[in-house]
A and B are shown apart, each in its own frame.
Chain A
Amino acid sequence: MPIPQQLGRGDKMGRGPYEKSGIIRDNGLPPNRPVQENFEIPYPAEYLKKDGKSVTNILDHEMTVDIELIYMPFGEKDSGITWHKVTKKITLEKGGV
């Protein structure tokens, strides 16, 4: 969204159109330019010490992630419109060294 500058001065965002003049920054999607977003999500795990060594006990090797692109005209998810939704199952290998 183009973040409007309040009355064309300073670093504050304007509220209604009556006090918006200028743009502080735009955090929206620019046309025809790829925008990447990365998310790192930890799996549920217990971190233990065994014989003086760190041991990770992974509680679930599978994770299902819903990724949604939601347009929120009023800044609230509940009143938003889902444009895209992708569900991915992400699996960790078992075993290994």
Chain B
Amino acid sequence: MRVVTTAAVMALLALPLLTPLPGQTASVEGRKARTIDELAKMYDSTGCKECHEEIYKDWEKSLHAKSIYGTGRTAATIKTTITVGLMGWKHSGVKKPEDVENRHLAICTKCHLPQLADATDDVAKEIVRNVNIFMDPKSGDDARNKAEQQLIKVSINCLVCHQRNAITHKWVDGFPQKNEVYGSKEGSHPDPGHPVMKKSPIMSESILCGQCHGLGPNFELENPSQCGTLYGSYLWAYRAEGGQESCQECHMKKSKLGHNMQSYNDLNMGKSAVDFQVETLGYIWRDGSKMMPQALVKIEMINRAGHSIPDG
């Protein structure tokens, strides 16, 4: 409740100011980003590197750092979402890529770029343009690289988890404020853009990750989509059956991966997730009068992860 009070006071103080405080973003003033560059600036996390260098380096290796570009597959899926999905559906309002608005792209960006909610439809259109250039085999290397560089400017960076999505229950804990960062402690924070450090009640809880790593269809969308179902599996197949560990315990602490929180692409994560036992037996099967030599290979696997494997 202390967070609620402080947050409300900070918001009231911020409103009358004509010039934003350092680090305060346009959205605080009710203005939305109109370009990818503006959105990148609004969620600029590069300053975090100064003090949290190792963590920042770990994050740079993660897929979170290239959430709408991904391994290339994410950009490809965004493209097919537009061409096969949106442009193919009678009632979507999208006849051509230029028609795509934020509400359409939310199928992807609800998780791959949640901060798009703080941008105008122009940013959705700019993302679509760049994805199309990036994915077009006719694009020259230069154009492709430029598109890639533009897409990589916005991602699931520090401020998405440690600010924007750091509070799930906003009526209880207050709305995240742009001059605050959320972690495990309260106090001052030596960053002029984010001078206040607040404790997020969910920073070490699985629900933080569950905001994106999926329950199933996103019914709040006009046309529900479903990317991951992992958090649903975690709740109903793991926690409900007595499992006690959190996402962070396995993907950050035990794995020692920290903010490079890999899953399937990390060999050690895969190895440690599944117990794999093999027993074999050579024998001769008698099929009537026919003797048939056979080998039996018995495999037992136990998934030690907190969710079904594979899932996403």
Q: Which secondary structure characterizes the binding site on chain B?
A: mixed
User: Who on chain B is nearest to A21 by CB?
Assistant: B217
Inter-subunit contact A17/B227 (CB<8 Å): yes
Shortest C-beta distance, B101 to chain A (Å), equals: 15
Q: Knowing A73-B264, A83-B274 are in contact, say whether A34-B301 is a contact too (CB < 8 A).
A: yes
User: Who on chain A is nearest to B80 by CB?
Assistant: A16
Q: Complex: how many Å from CA A54 to CA B224? A: 63
B281 interface contact, C-beta 8 A: yes
How many interface residues does B have (CB within 8 Å)? 59
Residues from 275 to 305 in B contacting A, C-beta threshold 8 Å: 276, 278, 280-284, 289-305
Contact partners of A17 in chain B: CB under 8 A: 77, 81, 107-108, 225-227
Shortest C-beta distance, B224 to chain A (Å), equals: 5
Contact partners of A21 in chain B: CB under 8 A: 216-217, 224-226
Q: Knowing A34-B301, A39-B296 are in contact, say whether A84-B107 is a contact too (CB < 8 A).
A: no
Q: Complex: how many Å from CA A45 to CA B291? A: 10
Contact partners of B107 in chain A: CB under 8 A: 17-18
Contact partners of A4 in chain B: CB under 8 A: 226, 229
Contact partners of B309 in chain A: CB under 8 A: 28-29
B194 interface contact, C-beta 8 A: no
Pick from B274, B299, B302: contact of A38, CB below 8 A: B299
B141 interface contact, C-beta 8 A: no
Shortest C-beta distance, A58 to chain B (Å), equals: 5
Inter-subunit contact A32/B291 (CB<8 Å): no
User: Who on chain B is nearest to A19 by CB?
Assistant: B85
Contact partners of A71 in chain B: CB under 8 A: 264, 270, 310
Q: Complex: how many Å from CA A88 to CA B280? A: 7
Q: Knowing A22-B226, A38-B296, A69-B274 are in contact, say whether A54-B290 is a contact too (CB < 8 A).
A: yes
Residues from 1 to 29 in A contacting B, C-beta threshold 8 Å: 1-2, 4, 8, 14-23, 26, 28-29
Q: Complex: how many Å from CA A43 to CA B264? A: 35
Q: Knowing A63-B282, A65-B297 are in contact, say whether A31-B270 is a contact too (CB < 8 A).
A: no
Shortest C-beta distance, A49 to chain B (Å), equals: 10
Inter-subunit contact B229/A29 (CB<8 Å): no
Inter-subunit contact A31/B241 (CB<8 Å): yes
Inter-subunit contact B226/A84 (CB<8 Å): no
Inter-subunit contact B297/A38 (CB<8 Å): yes
User: Who on chain B is nearest to A59 by CB?
Assistant: B293
User: Who on chain B is nearest to A8 by CB?
Assistant: B217
Which residues on A are within 8 Å of B, measured CB to CB? 1-2, 4, 8, 14-23, 26, 28-43, 45, 47, 53-54, 56, 58, 61, 63, 65, 67, 69, 71, 73, 81, 83-84, 86, 88, 90-93, 96
Given contacts A31-B241, A88-B297, 11 further A-B contacts (CB under 8 A): A15-B84, A17-B81, A18-B86, A41-B295, A43-B294, A45-B293, A81-B264, A84-B276, A91-B282, A92-B293, A93-B282
